[in-house]
Each structure stands twice: as structure tokens, then as C-alpha cells.
Amino acid sequence: MTLQSIRKAAIIGAGQMGLGIAYVSAVHAKIPITIYDPSSSVLSSATDKYKSLISRDVSKSRLTSEQADEALSRFSTSQGDGSEGGGEGSIRDDVDLVIEAIPEIPALKLGLFKRLGNALTPSTILGSNTSSISITKLAASAGSGMGKEESQESSQRVIGIHYFNPVPVMKLVEIIPALQTSQQTIERAKAFGKACKKEVTTSTDSPGFIANAILMPMINEAIMVLERGIASPQDIDKTFQLGMSHPMGPLKLADLIGLDTCLNIQRVLHTETGDSKYRPATLLGRMVDAGWVGRKGGRGFYVYD
Ligand code: CAA
């Protein structure tokens, strides 16, 4: 089997994960990328952040000014969700890989995969950066509304490609094949993860995969310890930083990931397993209701400038 390389990619969602994936694709894998988002202000803020990451690389001598110019020329944006039927804001068929990084809401991702599956040629890999949603369901959605053979072809190019926040720094990508995913898609996705200078692990399509089946219950338990008044956020975090050598404690990490994302992941674990041990902490839900979603919103368990 010759491995067809990825020459061009589209990333859907210009939030913190989408931007990070765009950065490692353009800077490390050295391929042109277009990042899609329905919001022009989110796109313009992502562009500013991308430029400042590149400037930082230059100031730290990780990139020469020539390499920085190349990295800047590989980055473009388009307003839309990438699946809008051929017009402005739609992904073109010359793209080898799409990575979706939209909010962790099952109905949104399923709808997007259905539209992408119908719009894009089956040789285009459809990757999802989901933290917990079933890749097998996304693959089924990408193959829905078409004949049996087309459906099989469309589903087998779907795969989980799960990065970690902050993407430019964290050295891992989890690869999650759906039941329907072809071996060629798996090999191409792994090769792409390595081209982004990441180590790669493989997980079966099980709720939370490897990382979030373990991490999210730990964060949820830390919130329950806070809720029960056992200790302050500072002491809970200090316990993990100094007692277990974690780079940051679970509450500060929850603020970094985004409390809305943590809640959505925990809900998927709970619903998919039906196990009450995964019930989201009440305080987590209340904080999201209050709009205290962590670092990106200026307030979570801590307050940010
Ligand atoms: N984007 C790009 N670079 C960033 C960054 C960001 N958002 N945040 C920090 N960095 C860079 C800094 O620029 C700095 O780079 P230099 O070496 O060039 O100076 C480097 O990271 C270290 O940063 P700091 O000195 O500011 O701070 P630190 O040493 O405390 O490290 C940290 C910050 C990397 C975030 C570290 O605390 C850490 O590793 N925390 C744990 C993060 C983690 O567990 N992430 C996984 C979350 S789970 C997930 O994402 C998956 C999911 O499905 C929910």
C-alpha cells in the first residue's frame, strides 16, 4: 500500500484547539491550511494569535524570518462552517484532510459530518478532534443519505485525531478509528500526527478514549471535593502539583480546557456508559450556567486578566 500524503488541510472551528491544530499543521507538517469558522471576529482573533505564535518562534530562534514568512503564507481563513454546498465558506475537493474542532456537542458534530460526507470526495479524510463523542457515530453520519457502497466509502475515511491543549506544546495525538475506518485512513492519520511532531497513541472507540476516560473523572472528582468544602481550589491544585508532580492542578487544568468542554465530555461519559459514577458535579453545571467557563471567559475556578 502506498501511503498518500496529506498535501493540504482544512480545519473547522477557530477556537483554541482549531488554532493550535492549524499552527502545528502549517509550521511542523508544512502544509497549507484554511481554517473555517462562522464568526468573523473569532477568525480575526485566531489570525492575530497565529501571527503572535510565529513572532514568538522567531524571537526564540525556533524559526528564521524566512521560515516565518513561509508559515504565514500557509495560513488562511474562510468564513463559514466548511460544508455549505460549494459557495464561499465551503471546503474544496482538493483538500486531503479535514479536521473538525467545533464545540463538543454531539448534534452539532453529527450534522457537520453528514454534510461533509455528502459534499467531499471519499479520498478526503474526515478527522474529528472530539474528546469523547463516538467516532463510529460520526462515521455513520458521514455515510448517511446515500447508497450502500457510497455510504461504506464515505464512512471508512472518518477517524478521531485528538490533540491536547495547548496544541503547540503538548506532544501527543490520540488516533481513534471508528468500527468502519479503513486501514489506509488509520495509516494516513498516524503519519499526519507524526508530521505535526507528535507522538501517537491508538485507542478503540470507547467513551473518552484513553485520555478523557481517566482525566475527566479526575477533574470531576476534584470539583466534587471543592463542592463538599473539603479544601480550597488552591489546596486541591497544590496537592496535585506538589504531591504528584502534575504541571498544573485539576481545577486550573479544567479552567485551561474550558468548563463548558469539561461538562460536555462528562455528559457524554455519563450518557454513553449509563454509569452514575460519571455524573457531572453540580457545581460544574452551575459555573457553566453562570458563564464562568474558565480561562477563555476570564473566570472559572480562578480569575484571569
Ligand atoms: N499556546 C502556545 N504556547 C503556549 C501556550 C498556549 N496556549 N501556553 C503556554 N505555552 C508555551 C509558552 O509560550 C512557553 O513556551 P516557551 O518554552 O517558548 O517559553 C511554554 O508553553 C511554557 O509555558 P509557561 O512558561 O507560560 O508555563 P508553564 O511552564 O507552566 O507551562 C503549560 C504551561 C504548558 C500549560 C503546563 O502548565 C502544562 O503542561 N499543563 C498541563 C496541560 C495539560 O494537561 N493539557 C492537556 C489538557 S487535556 C486536553 O487538552 C484534551 C481534552 O480532550 C480535554
Measure 76 CA to ligand 1 centroid, in angstroms.
25
Q: What is the ipTM of this complex?
A: 0.96
Q: Are residues 107 and 246 in the same domain?
A: no
d(CA 222, CA 249): 9
Q: Are residues 19 and 80 in the same domain?
A: yes
Confidence of residue 1 (pLDDT cuts 50, 70, 90): very low
Summarised one tens digit per residue, pLDDT across range 95-130 is: 999 999 999 889 999 999 999 999 999 999 999 999
Q: Are residues 165 and 196 in the same domain?
A: yes
Confidence of residue 132 (pLDDT cuts 50, 70, 90): confident
**Burial class of 87 by CB neighbour count within 10 A (0 to 12, 13 to 18, 19+):** exposed
Lowest mean per-residue pLDDT among 2-6, 185-189, 291-295: 2-6
Q: Are residues 44 and 171 in the same domain?
A: yes
d(CA 89, CA 37): 8
Total-model pTM: 0.95
Q: Count the neighbouring beta carbons within 10 Å of the beta carbon of residue 111.
A: 15
Instruction: Kindly state whether residue 31 falls inside one of the protein's structural domains.
Output: yes
CATH number for position 272: 1.10.1040.10
The closest residue, in CA terms, to atom 19 on ligand 1 is: 60
Pocket flag, ligand 1, residue 10 (CB < 6 Å):
no
Residue 221 annotated to the active site: no
Instruction: Kindly state whether residue 187 falls inside one of the protein's structural domains.
Output: yes
Instruction: Kindly state whether residue 42 falls inside one of the protein's structural domains.
Output: yes
Residue 220 annotated to the active site: no
Q: Are residues 97 and 189 in the same domain?
A: yes
The closest residue, in CA terms, to atom 23 on ligand 1 is: 169
**Burial class of 221 by CB neighbour count within 10 A (0 to 12, 13 to 18, 19+):** middle
Give the SS3 label for residue 123. Answer: coil
Pocket flag, ligand 1, residue 131 (CB < 6 Å):
yes
| pLDDT score of 2 more than 70 | no
Catalogue the E-assigned strands of 7-124: 9-12, 33-37, 75-79, 97-100
Summarised one tens digit per residue, pLDDT across range 45-75 is: 999 999 999 999 999 999 999 999 999 999 9
Q: Are residues 218 and 187 in the same domain?
A: no
Q: Are residues 172 and 225 in the same domain?
A: no
Measure 170 CA to ligand 1 centroid, in angstroms.
7
Residue 110, Cα to own-chain centre: how many angstroms?
Answer: 15
Confidence of residue 83 (pLDDT cuts 50, 70, 90): confident
Summarised one tens digit per residue, pLDDT across range 157-185 is: 999 999 999 999 999 999 999 999 999 99
CATH number for position 111: 3.40.50.720
Residue 174 annotated to the active site: yes
Q: Are residues 177 and 220 in the same domain?
A: no
Q: Are residues 135 and 243 in the same domain?
A: no
d(CA 237, CA 297): 20
Segments forming the whole domain that contains residue 147: 9-202
58 contacts: CB under 8 Å, gap ≥ 6: 64, 65, 68
> How far is the CA of 167 from the CAs of 147, 150, 267, 277, in angstroms?
38, 34, 24, 29
| Per-residue cell: 51 | 501571527
Instruction: Kindly state whether residue 305 falls inside one of the protein's structural domains.
Output: no
Domain boundary among 178, 202, 226: 202
Tally the domains of the chain. 2
Pocket flag, ligand 1, residue 169 (CB < 6 Å):
yes
